Every structure is written in structure tokens, then in C-alpha cells.
Structure 1
Amino acid sequence: MEAFWSISNNSCIMTTISDIAEKLGVAPSTVSRALAGSKEVSERTRQRVKALAEQMNYTPNLWARNLARSKTDTIGCVILQFSNTFFIPVIEAVEDIADTHGYSVITSQSRRSIELEKKIVHRLQMMQVAGLIITPTLEDISHLLAMKETGMPVIMVGRTHPQFDCISIDNYKGGQLVANYLLKHGFREIGVVISGERSNEPEKYRLKGLQETLKDNGLTLADEWIMVVGNNDPEGGMLAAQMWLKLKNKPRAVFCSNDQLAIGLMQGIQASGRQVPEDIAVIGFDDIPLLDHMAVPLSTVAYPKYEMGKIAMQKIIRKLDSFDNENEVEHFLLKPHLMARASA
């Protein structure tokens, strides 16, 4: 039996559909169908039920309803880090589309830990979420394959894998854009700052796009100009600044695999008394919020992050509504573009 909560005088009184039915003099099943908007119930009865629910401030107890259905109206969303503002528009899009279709979203962060990711996914399974949108670490996908095999839609965002529906960007193209832009503006001594994390798939393609474009133009990326810092945070960029300052032959332009690294690099360079872009040009990747409001606005590679979340949630809904063949896998590759600002 579906339950409702009525809150009054700072106390919670649990009321069943049977109680509502008794007040209206109808069967509990009639109330249940009326609240669900079923056409099997007359318009007059639906309005009577709705009016009483509104009058008494009733709210459906979704947990109880979901137990009866053996599924929920909740979508799980797992991202890498709440501190990474890249995910803000992605989550906003997921929530916007979910709300339009009557779903709610529960969001968690894995903190780039495969162990934590597995725990979160297991908890979401126990909660019987209807589907999962995830930016995985990709260190292990056995838990995601197990979830998919139960029939639950699993969509990857920002990562790709041949066995899953994926919404990502053309990271290789992004690296090409950076190389071509720097070459066009006369830079020949180009370095990079990367995390070096084994599971960071986008970073690998960004670096590959840059390296191969430089090679096509007769240039190579010197080993000492590849600054590996071990993380994706501003602290890593600060470390890269120290590495750059110690170099005897310094690259005149540096591409950072994400904006957080670029911000830290610029802070470290400026703290040393050097200037951006006079002493070093810097380009990031992601176009996170407020970059154009920095003291030296950061040049970066941008892409439609809101669109990524929108496509992911729409794909989940299509699968839940059985419009898509659950055995078919689709990969959406969105195009990046370069945002030229003062830092380069």
C-alpha cells in the first residue's frame, strides 16, 4: 500500500491510501489510480482526490512506492570530484532532463578511487535506482558490467568504453587545436603539464593530439618539457611551475591537460615574479567557470558540457521507455573549440 506523509504542528503522521479512500468513500485502488493520473478513473474523482491531497499537504512516500514496484524513479549519478567544476553543467543538465520526465537524481563522487566507486555503485544497486550515469575511473569495469547485465541502463560521460553507451568529446581534436593555435602564433618551444594518471583516458588523447600535430610540423615534444605532476588539481600546477622554473631551457608555451593544472601553474609562475603571457604562455582544457574573470584570463579548450549531461539523461530515458535496443551501444563524440584569452 502506498503511503503519504502529512506534516502539521511539527509532527509527522503517516497516512495510508486507505485513510484517504475512507474519507472520500471510494476504494483504495481508486485513490491510487487517481493519484497516478490513470484514465481508468473519472475526471471528477481524480479532481476530488487531488483536491484532498493538496488540502492536507500530502506528499507521496516514494520509498514505499518504490518497494512495491521493485524499481525507483531515481537516477544514480557518479562523478569523479565535486571540487571539479567541470561537472556542474553536466549535473545541471541531468537534473533538468530528469525532472522533466518525473525522475530525481542522487549524485555521488568517487574521488577518483576505484574502491570508492565500487562501493557507491553497490549502494545505488541496493537502492534500486532506475539507471546510472557515471564518469568512471576505468581501472576496473566489472561492477559496471554486472549492473548492465541486470538490464539497468549504464551511461558513461567523459569516458569511453566499447561495451557501454558513452558521451564524450574529441580529446584528440582538442590537442590538435592547441598545437595549431600555438604554432599559428609563432610558438615553437612547447611544453605540457599532465597528471600522468594511468586511468586518465582524456588526458592521453589530448597529449597524443598535441604531439602528433607538432610532429606533422617538424617538431618534437622534448622529454624534459613533459611535466608529470601526479594529480589534476591546482597544487599539481604549482608543482609544475617549480619544475618549469628549474629548467635551463624553458618552453615558451605550456599546454595543461586541464584548467585546474593551468590555474596552479599560472599562480606559481606569478608568485616567482614572472609574468603570463610575457614569460610563458599558458593554455588549459575544460573551460571551467570564471576563467575569463581571472587577473590574466585563461585560454582554454571548451566543449558543450551541458549537452553531454543532456544527451546522457535522454539516453537513459529512452532505454527505460524501451525505445532503444538495450543491446545496441552508441558513442557520442562532441566537438571542442578553442577559447583564446590573454594567457596565450
Structure 2
Amino acid sequence: MIDKSEGRSGPTVAPAAPARPTSADVARRAGVSRATVSHVLNSTDHPVSERTRQRVLAAAQELQYAPNASARALRAGRSNIVLVPMSRSAVIPGQDEFLENLDRELADRDLVLLMHGDRTTNGARGAHAWAELRPAAVYLDVSRGTPAAVELLRRAGVQAILLTGVPSVTYAPTVPLDPAAAARLATQHLLTRGSRRLACLVPGGALAEVSARRHHAVVQVAAADNVPVERVDCELSSDSIAPVVGRWRDPAHRPDAVYASNDQFAILLIHKLLEAGLEVPQDIAVVGSGDDPLGAALRPALTTTSFVVPEIARVVASSIRRLLDGHDLDPDMEAALRPRLVIRESG
């Protein structure tokens, strides 16, 4: 007779996940009704004593209870969620800083930032996905906020829809934030200082869309003064930059100034120019965008253009709050979206 218990192991049973605490659990722990828990955690105007409020908050913390924002929105017919679809590009200069500041600014206005992780959705298909989360407001790029998407969101009960990008549209309030504005400002500065032969670095990869728009802006501004612009497609590597720097050692092929699209490329370019025996800005002036702290520490220190990201986040959050309250966009919007010029040694 074979003992089947020897040499065999039974199926491994994963331990059951602990049940997620509910508002009823919090009510039992605090010794109050579920209605009282709801009033405390949702900060309603219903009178609750401070002692009871603290007991409910302590119970929620002990149980690690997290309210279901979507369910709460369904019950109340409204929410304080501001939904922002993640950008199609994972690498956009200043994106993380903007979102961190936007999160703080919204919280100061009793709103909650919710990032929607699908980078591909747009138009009506995207609007269906965003509306399912019952946000109070949606903030997204004009390229994704099509007329059909905006109409669907409004029908779904989204109270405020704020678009961003250029050109502005007539069917929804728009924050006309244009990354190319930094390039225009840099080009105007170089022309004012006397540059008459320009070059523009055009990074590829994840930065390709922004850098192409900036190159187009440089060409437009320079054309008004009949100044030629050499386009330099490149990557962030010495091997990519070195050939063009080698060509620029010949004065006949050398621009007198370069707009480098962003500070990282400007810093690399200055390093390669100095390595090749060229002086900055005497032989070639260099201007970047982004105000990277390394640029200020560089020698020569980098001249740059940049947006004041915390200020943009402030006016965006303020505008969303104002739209929810039935008002117009923040009156400081136009000033907050202007890039600034930081003149240092490189150009």
C-alpha cells in the first residue's frame, strides 16, 4: 500500500488578503454611526463635536481606512477630483515640477489631483474613460480635448474643463501655454545682441515634438531679420555633437550663436566647443532653455530662457477653482505664461 502523503506536497494556498476596512468598521471602532463617520471624513457642515471628530479620525487612521473617492462622488453627485491625463510623452521638460506644484496648489483649494495613466486616450474614447471617474474638473491638452470630448465630458456632468496648449480654442477655456515661446525669446535676445548667423539644435527621441516646435519658432523670428538658421539634428551625446563642432572650427561654416533647445544640450555643446578650442561667447554664443542649476555653475555660466513653473501651476489651479465657482480664468494667466530671460555669460 502506497502512502500518498509521502513525497508529495499539497497545493500552496496563498494567504487571504485582509479585508479592506469600510466606513462601518470605522464607525464601530469609534462608537458612532456611519452617518457621523461620513460627516467627519467628508467635512460636511453637519454639527459634530470636536471630541467625536477626533475619535473618528483616530479610528480611521488606526484601521488605515481610505475613502473611495469615486463611490463618494457617485453618492454626492459631485467630487473634488481634478483629473489630468498623463502626457503622451514621458519626458517633457518641467513636467514633474509642474505636477508637484499643481498638486499642492489644488490641495490649497480643497481639490485633489488625479492622474489618469493611459497616455494614448484622446477624443471621445478618452472622454468616456475620464468621465467614469466622476471628476469635478478635467485639465488636458488641446490635442486631446477635441470638441466631441469636451461635449461628452459636459454631458457626463464634469463641471469644469480646462484645456492647455496652442492654438486656443473657442469651445472650452484654454491656457495658451506654448513651449516655443522660450525659443522666440532666446532668438530675439541673440538678434538684439547682434547675431547674424544662427544655428539651432533639434534633439530627437522623446524631445522631438517640443524641439521641432522650438526650431520652427527660431526660424520664424530670424526670418523677420533675414538671418539664416542652420538646423542641427542631434542626440544628447558627445558623439552626436562632436561632428558639427568640428565643422564649426572653420570660420566659414561657423554660426555666431546657437539656440540649444534646452539646457542639457547647451551645457554639452559648451563643453564640446571649449574642448575644440572655441571660445564662448566670443566665437559662438550659446543660449538654452530650462534654467538648469548646472547652467549657473558652468563656466561660462549659461544664458537661458525659462518658464516660472510654480507660477504656472498656481494660475492653472486658481483657474480650475474659479471655473468650478462660476468665474472666469485667473486674471494673472497671461503674465504667468510669459517665459523669462536669464542673461549670464554664454550669450
Same-fold status (TM-score > 0.5): yes
Say if 2:153 is the partner of 1:145. Answer: no
Q: Residue 40 of structure 1: which of 38, 41, 46 is its match?
A: 46
| 1:90 aligned partner, one-letter code | F
Q: Residue 161 of structure 2: which of 140, 154, 171 is its match?
A: 154
Please tell me whether the aligned partners of residues 80 and 135 of structure 1 are also in contact (alpha carbons under 8 angstroms): no
Matched with 1:3 is: none
Deviation at 1:253, TM superposition (A): 0.7
Matched with 1:313 is: 317
Deviation at 1:309, TM superposition (A): 1.4
Matched with 2:56 is: 50
Deviations 1:70-117 (A, max 9, x none): 655433333354444422332222011122233332446888xxx466
Query: C-alpha root-mean-square deviation of aligned residues, in Å?
Result: 4.3
Say if 2:134 is the partner of 1:102. Answer: no
Structure 2: distance between partners of 1:141 and 1:201: 21
Q: Residue 181 of structure 1: which of 163, 169, 189 is its match?
A: 189
Please tell me whether the aligned partners of residues 238 and 267 of structure 1 are also in contact (alpha carbons under 8 angstroms): no
Stretches of structure 2 lacking an aligned partner (at least 5 in a row): 1-16
TM-score normalised by structure 1 residue count: 0.70
Deviation at 1:204, TM superposition (A): 3.8
Deviation at 1:251, TM superposition (A): 0.9
Q: Which secondary structure state, in structure 2, belongs to the residue aligned with residue 290 of structure 1?
A: helix
Structure 2: distance between partners of 1:142 and 1:265: 43
Q: Residue 82 of structure 2: which of 75, 80, 92 is its match?
A: 75
Deviations 1:239-290 (A, max 9, x none): 4663464465221111234334434543554565544334321112232443
Deviation at 1:156, TM superposition (A): 3.5
Over alpha carbons, which structure has the higher Rg? 2
| 1:162 aligned partner, one-letter code | V
| 1:305 aligned partner, one-letter code | V
Structure 2: distance between partners of 1:197 and 1:169: 15
Please tell me whether the aligned partners of residues 211 and 261 of structure 2 are also in contact (alpha carbons under 8 angstroms): no
Q: Which secondary structure state, in structure 2, belongs to the residue aligned with residue 301 of structure 1?
A: strand
1:157-172 → structure 2 map (5 Å cutoff): 157-163=164-170, 164-168=172-176
Describe the shift of the 1:108–1:13 C-alpha distance in structure 2 as closer, same or farther (beyond 3 A): closer
Aligned residues: 318
Larger % of strand: which? 1
Describe the shift of the 1:30–1:106 C-alpha distance in structure 2 as closer, same or farther (beyond 3 A): closer
Stretches of structure 1 lacking an aligned partner (at least 5 in a row): 1-10
Please tell me whether the aligned partners of residues 166 and 332 of structure 1 are also in contact (alpha carbons under 8 angstroms): no
Deviation at 1:311, TM superposition (A): 1.0
| 1:97 aligned partner, one-letter code | E
Identity %: 20
